[in-house]
Structure 1
Amino acid sequence: MPHTTGRHELGQNFLVDPRVVDTVLSVVATWPDDRPLLELGPGDGALTGPLAALGRPVTAVEIDARRAARLRRRLAGRVDVVRGDLARHRLDTGADIVSNVPYGITTPLLRRLLGAPHWHHAILLLQWEVARKRAGVGGTTLMAAQWWPWFTFGLVHRVPATSFRPVTSVDGGLLEVRRRPVPLVADAVHHRSVVTETFTGRGRGVLDVVGRRHGRSVRDLWARSSSVGSRDLPRDLDVEQWVTLAELVPRRSESQQRRGRGRDDDHRQERHP
């Protein structure tokens, strides 16, 4: 019988709702079936066994030694169970990602995931409000806008707090992330720099910010070509508007890019967790 009480110091809240498991499997079934799966934080294996039943190679990374050992015994020959920290495990192996993410490490894990190459699909169980924001529901966040040219973010389903043991204080949400087959921009440093400057710049609206930062000619051309209004805020923009803005803003020199790279990648400036 699986133990369903998570260790508090590890931030574990285990999934116990079979309906949520079925939803995750239905999403994974839409991904190409020739790719292996990497499950980060399997806990007691509510998802692990069903994922293995799909017939794909599955690696599960679990930090709790006792649970890793139980999973290894129960799923011997079907799943490669690795004892390790999901916040440090390699993500560039080409495996697609499934994770019930401990709420306390959501943002660091997302940063690592989006910066890792080779994987193509991920489904993540996050806090509901975080999943909504990453999917752009109710407005775009800095992190989403920075990575939009490379990924799409889709809100799949709301997960009640009662779907976990221990029961969580807030609902969860399933977020699907897909890597675009062809990126919408080539210069990642420049794009993220423009997005960060626009989100954090001073002004009464996004056009005012762009005008102050990049001049009236860039502002006016962007407003006409992308239908950006004077009352629009950074959170109101879609991916095409961000891509067009980055194309219009002159690129900085290599030394300027290196100086700005730390700011561009520092998602701590974002006000929405």
Structure 2
Amino acid sequence: MSHSFRGGRHELGQNFLTHTPSIAAITDLVRLTDGPLLELGAGNGALTRHLAALGRPLSAIEIDARRVRQLTARLPHVDVVLADALQIPLDAATVVGNIPFHLTTPILRRLLRAQEWKHAVLLTQWEVARKRAGVGGGTMMTAQNAPWYEFALRGRVPRGGFTPAPSVDGGILTIDRRASPLVGVAERRAYEQFVAAVFAGRGGRLERVVQHAVRTSPSVARRAVAQAGARGALPRDLRAEQWALLWSALRG
């Protein structure tokens, strides 16, 4: 068996977490969740052993076969699995992991399409965590998913807290599935297309952008923006609840 699916540590883009305060912070956030755990990218097990101490069913995914053997020997009560985070079913109640920075976007996209999990505690690049949490303005990806998920920035991890050190700091991001979605699941595709059209739209004022995005009249666009409490706002300024109100007003 080869040592990994894709080669050695450099090819895998592994930056192992060594920052003790961040390991503790992630563990504490996971402790607030419930159900079985799925760890993506177990690496050398720095986080895995703390998750195992929570006493919940834990599956730890690792793509490096050599490290899988080491973790299996050190943590016999953990289900350590040789697998790719881009292929493994994301079917545990809580997903946690130090996500390889170069795979952050595809893993997030997979996660936000999976139906089984309820909570996620992820270590990503700092800027990705900030953007997903809407710090400094929302992004299209976050707005498209916010009716079904709540995003929050929980901490910053210095680049020196990894081995080897990456070129940027990390950020701790939590994602929780909403118990009551703000938009119906059956409307998801149409809603996502609407958000994309608004973010790509031109016209300056939100009313005009919305008018062109959905090809409606100026009066309908003005009324919808007013009902959403979004007069004078830009797309990046809208909260999840405002996007949902805007969508509902236009659908109505």
Q: If the TM-score is normalised by the length of the shorter chain, which range does it land in?
A: over 0.9
What is residue 151 of structure 1 aligned with on the other side?
Answer: 149
List 4+ stretches of structure 1 deviating above 2 A: 212-215, 248-251
Q: Which runs of no fewer than 5 residues in structure 1 stay unpaired?
A: 1-5, 252-273
Give the CA deviation at 1:133.
Answer: 0.5
Q: 1:14 corresponds to which residue? A: 16
Q: Which residue of 2 aligns with 1:101?
A: 99
Distance between the aligned counterparts of 2:248 and 2:229, measured in 1? 15
Q: Distance in 2 between matches of 1:250 and 1:148?
A: 18
- Confirm or deny: 8 A CA contact 1:155 1:175 kept in the other structure: yes
Q: Does the CA-based 8 Å contact 2:208-2:218 persist in structure 1?
A: no
Q: State the TM-score, normalizing by the size of structure 1.
A: 0.85
- Pairing of 1:50-65 with structure 2 (within 5 A): 50-65=50-65
Aligned to 1:211: 211
Question: Across the two proteins, how many residue pairs are aligned to each other?
Answer: 241
1:163-191 Cα distance to aligned partner (Å, 9 max, x none):
00001111100000000111111121222
- Give, in whole Å, the separation in 2 of the partners of 1:163 and 1:176: 19
Give deviations 1:120-171, integer Å, cap 9, x for gaps. Answer: 0000101101100000000010011001111100100000001000011111
Question: CA-atom RMSD, angstroms?
Answer: 1.3
Matches of 1:229 and 1:184 in 2, distance apart? Answer: 20
Aligned to 1:71: 71
Distance, in Å, in 1 between the alignment partners of 2:139 and 2:161 is: 27
Map of 1:1-273 to 2, 5 A cutoff? 7-32=9-34, 35-76=35-76, 78-91=77-90, 93-186=91-184, 187-213=187-213, 214-230=216-232, 232-250=233-251
Tell whether the 8 Å contact from 1:16 to 1:164 is kept in structure 2 after alignment: yes
User: CA contact under 8 A between 1:190 and 1:246: conserved in structure 2?
Assistant: no
Q: Percent identity?
A: 49
